[in-house]
C-alpha cells in the first residue's frame, strides 16, 4: 500500500474528526453516553467533521455517512441545525472513530481521507467508505485498520 504522506491544503489540521464531531461535548465514556450522543448530533456537526477530514471531499463524506445522494446533502445544507436521526448519528460517530484511527495510522489527514475512497485489497476491492455504509462494514473496516496498523493487511 503506497500513499503520499505530503499534507495537502484541502485537509484541515485542527483536532481529530472525532473531536470535531463531538464539538466539545463530553467524551464517550459508556454505552448510555453514546446512546444520548447519537441522538443530539446535527447535520452541522457532521459537515464540520467531514470538512476537517478533507474539504475537497466534504459532500462525499457526508453523503456516505448519511446514505443519501449528494443532491440531498446540498438540500440539507440549508438546515444545518437539524438533528440527524439516531442511525445517521451512529454512522457519523463510527465514521469519525475510524477516520481518526486512520489518521493516527497513516499519520496524515489527507492520506487517511484518500484511503477511504480507494479500493482496499483487505476489503475484497471495496472502498472503505462504501463498506462503512453497512452496519457490519464497520467491524470489517476496523479489523482492516488494526491489521494495517500491525503490518498484517494481506
One pLDDT digit (tens) per residue for the chain, 154 residues: 433 333 344 554 478 888 888 877 756 666 777 778 888 899 999 999 999 888 888 888 899 888 888 888 888 888 999 999 988 998 999 899 899 999 999 998 888 888 989 999 999 999 999 998 887 899 999 999 999 999 886 5
Residues 6+ apart with CB under 8 A from 137: 130, 131
The number of angstroms, rounded, from the C-alpha of 47 to the middle of its chain's C-alpha atoms is 11
pTM: 0.81
- What's the full length of the chain, in residues? 154
The number of angstroms, rounded, from the C-alpha of 65 to the middle of its chain's C-alpha atoms is 7
Residues 6+ apart with CB under 8 A from 74: 59
The number of angstroms, rounded, from the C-alpha of 14 to the middle of its chain's C-alpha atoms is 15
Contact 17, 103 (CB under 8 A): yes
- Name the residue ranges covered by the structural domains of the chain: 17-149
C-alpha cell at 69: 445522494
Residue 83 pairs in a beta bridge with 42
Give dist(CA 136, CA 132) in Å, integer.
8
Amino acid at each position: 500500500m503506497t500513499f503520499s504522506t505530503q499534507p495537502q491544503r484541502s485537509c484541515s489540521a485542527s483536532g481529530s474528526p472525532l473531536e470535531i464531531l463531538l464539538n466539545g461535548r463530553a467524551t464517550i465514556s459508556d454505552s448510555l453516553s453514546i446512546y444520548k450522543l447519537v441522538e443530539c448530533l446535527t447535520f452541522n456537526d457532521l459537515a464540520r467533521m467531514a470538512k476537517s477530514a478533507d474539504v475537497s471531499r466534504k459532500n462525499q463524506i457526508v453523503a456516505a455517512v448519511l446514505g443519501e445522494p449528494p443532491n440531498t446533502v446540498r438540500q440539507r445544507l440549508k438546515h444545518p441545525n437539524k438533528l440527524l436521526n439516531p442511525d445517521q448519528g451512529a454512522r457519523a460517530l463510527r465514521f469519525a472513530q475510524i477516520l481518526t484511527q486512520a489518521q493516527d495510522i497513516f499519520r496524515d489527514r489527507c492520506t487517511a481521507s484518500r484511503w477511504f475512497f480507494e479500493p482496499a485489497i483487505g476489503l475484497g476491492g471495496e472502498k472503505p467508505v462504501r463498506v462503512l455504509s453497512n452496519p457490519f462494514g464497520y467491524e470489517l473496516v476496523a479489523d482492516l485498520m488494526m491489521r494495517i496498523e500491525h503490518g498484517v493487511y494481506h
